[in-house]
Structure 1
Amino acid sequence: MMQVFSETQVEEHYKMSDAIRDIEQAFGHLEDIQQAQRTVIPTGEGAKAMLYMPCVDLKQQLGTIKITSITPDNPKSGKPTTQAQIVITSLDNGEHKAIIDGSYLTRLRTGALSGIATQYMSKAEAHILGMIGTGGMAYEQFLGNMEVRPIDTVILYNRTTEKAKTFKQRILKDYPNLEVKVTEDVSELVKQSDIINCQTPSTEPVFKAGDVQPGTHINGIGSYQPSMKEIDYNIFPKADWVVVDDLEGVKDESGELIEANDEGVFTFEEIDDELKTLSLNKQTRKNDEAITVFKCVGAAYFDLAVAVGAYQKLNQE
């Protein structure tokens, strides 16, 4: 009998620490995991699209496919921009074991990836987090960084300032001892932050490379189509360490890196590592003055790692 797990059930039992652990464990047996490049079908203006991401884990004999809809106008009618479901299938007998609401898991795995990148790439004492974009993906980005660094100050910027103020209240409700500021000046945020986290679907850079200070780490997770370019690509040649979640994925989907490569500003060959390499080798930054950048577009095996992890945990409890 197929099990069905709601977002509320998953959120109650499966946390950021679980997601970080399960993704890092998946890095250790990628030879058992096979995925197809995700299929993105535009369904309207801008970011409106359907996404399909299949993956199988031959070691655990489980397969997943995530089906995601992105509808940017949804917030106007009180519905989420991104909605997703993940189907889990037994490879032993082909039985579809469960459907898990994938919206929270998508946010959580993306936050976990930024958390893993921050853990290895940022300064150990990094404590000021600047967040550009306070939409649907932002809270789990916040949680990912909180999980791995002694964050005591958060600076928020959103194109609509009221949304940033609402997000501030959400943070303070859960973390009343944090200092949380809202700014209308992105330049100020960039200059003050130890970690800059970008989560916007912007088609043009949301900050200037020239404002980034030595020692800063940047996570860019918002742009996942060639038309989206939230990071100023001039930061790539200035960075000591440029790491991506999935090299083949960024070649097809990261607007900033595609444009930088096309313009000859920074080529795909100059990308230093994939995140799995840092995790497996426990590599950390060697220079506190270095600028480091992590670019994430997502890959099906990250969804598999958290979906299977959540499915197993929900069946234990």
Structure 2
Amino acid sequence: MPRTLSDDEVRAAVPMRDAVEAVRHAFTELAAGHFTQPERLVFGGGRVLVMTAHHEPSGSAVVKTLSVRLDRTPAILGTVVWTGDGAPLVADATAVTTLRTGAVTGVATDLLAPADAGNLALLGSGAQAADQLRAIAAVRTLRAVTIHSRTAGNARKLAATLGDEFPAVSFRVAETVEDALADAEIVNCATSSGTPLFTLSALPEQVHVNAIGSFRPSMRELPAELLATASVVVVDQVEAALAEAGEIIQALEDGHLDQAELVELGTALREPPKVSGRTVFKSVGVAAQDWAIARSLAASVE
């Protein structure tokens, strides 16, 4: 019989630092061509998602099925099924998804943000936000975090929760996005917005921006001007970004960005790009990330 792991069991088995390293390894394997990873299946206008990946060297595979309702708490419900040498493993998809999405942000931030960057602006206070911060804290020594959200009450609750978890970090809530961004060295966007969250002029000249909230062509968190002027735009996978990342799709259609300028994360890990000024990481999520967390879970219960 397969072993089934709850949200709490997933988090106990794979601490964020381990998740970051697991996802880093998965992207180097992806760049090496060691995965068969079909494009994500999308049903019901994005309300049902199915993702799968097969790691050829190990013969292991993962399948994740999600129900996504942005008007529901939690917004993501589903299962992750891991198949390897032993018995199959089933895990709660909410925990796996937020953990692996946080972890890839940690990988990208470690690659693209200055080593001494410690001021974070967190835009969005939903289900993904806490693990986004935890991942960045795993790769950078944070000094101050400013949270801005459409719902100020949620932002205050998140600041209080994370303040207890990270007592050495200063937390505050900003009423405007401009205030949140003013002193940011790292910006993290985790919203379901259909329009850009800020203008280019609101960003400092030296800043790294992660955007992980939008996963449909109709969603946009980043202004086209940022994509046009950033020293590097890294995506988790070009094929996935072209199918699902609204800001990338629109910037390409409007001529603000050329597809040849997009750098895949796995490639960037093998050949780090030269970075300066503003840098961008845009993720819609790929199944190799789920494989990374599921593989770590399977190893933890052997």
Q: Which category describes the TM-score, using the shorter chain as reference length?
A: over 0.9
Superimposed CA distance per residue, residues 150-204 of structure 1 (whole angstroms, 9 cap, x where no aligned partner): 1110000000100000000110111122110101110121221000000001000
Which structure 2 residue ranges, 5 or more long, are not aligned?
none
1:257 and 2:248 are equivalent in the alignment? yes
* Residue number in structure 2 paired with 1:23: 23
Output the amino acid matched with 1:300.
A
Q: What's the secondary structure of 2:301's corresponding residue?
A: helix
- Is 1:204–1:229's contact at 8 Å kept on the other side of the alignment? yes
* Residue number in structure 1 paired with 2:180: 189
* Residue number in structure 2 paired with 1:33: 35
> Structure 1 CA distance, aligned partners of 2:38 and 2:215?
16
Output the amino acid matched with 2:64.
K
* Residue number in structure 1 paired with 2:267: 277
- Is 2:174–2:180's contact at 8 Å kept on the other side of the alignment? yes
* Residue number in structure 1 paired with 2:286: 299
1:210 to 201, 210, 213: 201
- Is 2:148–2:177's contact at 8 Å kept on the other side of the alignment? yes
* Residue number in structure 1 paired with 2:135: 144
> Structure 2 CA distance, aligned partners of 1:142 and 1:166?
14
Superimposed CA distance per residue, residues 196-253 of structure 1 (whole angstroms, 9 cap, x where no aligned partner): 0000010001111121111100000000100001111110112111111111000010
Q: Indicate how the Cα distance of structure 1 residues 85 and 262 shifts in structure 2: closer, same or farther if over 3 A, else same.
A: same
Cα deviation for residue 285 of structure 1 reads 4.8
> Structure 1 CA distance, aligned partners of 2:273 and 2:131?
23
> Structure 2 CA distance, aligned partners of 1:221 and 1:119?
16
Moved more, 193-202 or 5-14: 5-14
* Residue number in structure 2 paired with 1:55: 53
- Is 2:24–2:104's contact at 8 Å kept on the other side of the alignment? no
- Is 1:257–1:267's contact at 8 Å kept on the other side of the alignment? no
> Structure 1 CA distance, aligned partners of 2:82 and 2:16?
21
Q: What's the secondary structure of 2:115's corresponding residue?
A: coil
Output the amino acid matched with 2:210.
N
- Is 2:232–2:273's contact at 8 Å kept on the other side of the alignment? no
> Structure 1 CA distance, aligned partners of 2:273 and 2:259?
22
Moved more, 128-137 or 5-14: 5-14
Percent identity, please: 30
> Structure 2 CA distance, aligned partners of 1:49 and 1:270?
31
Cα deviation for residue 88 of structure 1 reads 1.4
> Structure 1 CA distance, aligned partners of 2:87 and 2:80?
11
* Residue number in structure 2 paired with 1:74: 72
> Structure 1 CA distance, aligned partners of 2:76 and 2:15?
20
Q: How does 1:150-189 map to 2 (within 5 A)?
A: 150-189=141-180
Q: What's the secondary structure of 1:74's corresponding residue?
A: coil
Aligned CA-pair RMSD: 1.5
- Is 2:67–2:78's contact at 8 Å kept on the other side of the alignment? yes
> Structure 2 CA distance, aligned partners of 1:292 and 1:84?
33
> Structure 1 CA distance, aligned partners of 2:27 and 2:129?
24
- Is 2:237–2:286's contact at 8 Å kept on the other side of the alignment? yes
> Structure 2 CA distance, aligned partners of 1:258 and 1:11?
34
Output the amino acid matched with 1:277.
T
TM-score, normalised to structure 2, is 0.95
- Is 1:128–1:193's contact at 8 Å kept on the other side of the alignment? yes
1:86 and 2:77 are equivalent in the alignment? no
> Structure 2 CA distance, aligned partners of 1:269 and 1:201?
27
Cα deviation for residue 5 of structure 1 reads 1.1
Q: What's the secondary structure of 1:214's corresponding residue?
A: coil
- Is 1:10–1:314's contact at 8 Å kept on the other side of the alignment? no
Q: What's the secondary structure of 2:224's corresponding residue?
A: coil
TM-score, normalised to structure 1, is 0.91
* Residue number in structure 1 paired with 2:298: 311
* Residue number in structure 2 paired with 1:239: 230
- Is 2:118–2:140's contact at 8 Å kept on the other side of the alignment? yes
